[in-house]
Amino acid sequence: MSEALDRAKKIKVILFDVDGVLTDGTIWLLPAPGGAKPTSSAGGQPLSVSGSNTVEAKGFHAHDGTAISLARLGGIKVGFVTKRNSETVALRAHDLKIDHLYQGMADKAEALEKIIAIEGINAREVAFVGDDVVDLPIMRRCGLAIAVPNARKEVIDEAHVITEHRGGEGAGRDAIEYVLKAQGKLKKTINDYIATRPAVQKTLK
């Protein structure tokens, strides 16, 4: 625990896998309006789905969105690094003003190298939150490896920290708050977050 806290104190960038971390891992493939039907077998079962004819939908937790605002107020940058390509993820990243977005990354460690070069930092100053074995190479390179409790055993075994909540249920919030608390910034960032929302202030009064 002490080692993990020491690692967290150095973090300047937190990176997240998406499916299974910022979502519960469910991927909804919906037919796009006017799109062609998927190719079917004789029994009527779909054999393939063209990305141009489908919309990939995911569900994100509001607590994670708030956490990204807290990270920004605490001077920590945030990024998404995922193997899949999804317009839904791009929209979420844009909505939250994410600093780094890398999709279609079969080698996530490659994204890490690009990010540390852009930020002018080293890998020890980056945390990564993952859930599956594809995340292990980047987790091994980062200064702080975080896993969600629904992660594969191999990932949990190599993580420095396990979040309290499962992926898609606020795990991102847990990870960000852990780092902010280790750096002595959590209480101030929460107060700063409240102060930037006049409507919230009026409600509290």
Q: Which domains does the chain have, with CATH numbers?
A: 2-24+59-204 (3.40.50.1000), 27-58 (no CATH)
Average pLDDT over the chain reads 89
Q: What's residue 49's pLDDT? A: 40
Q: Tens digit of pLDDT for each residue in 8-19?
A: 999 999 999 999
Q: Which residue has the higher pLDDT, 33 or 48?
A: 33
Q: How far apart are CA 186 and CA 11, in angstroms?
A: 14
Find the mean pLDDT for residues 129-153. Answer: 98
The pLDDT of residue 51 is above 60: no
Question: 40: helix, coil or strand?
Answer: strand
How far the first Cα of the chain sits from its last, in Å, is 39
pLDDT of 161 higher than 90 = yes
Stated length of the chain: 205
Tell me 151's DSSP state: S
Give the integer Cα–Cα distance in Å for 160 and 145. Answer: 5
pLDDT value at residue 34: 64
pLDDT band at 29; cut points 50, 70, 90: confident
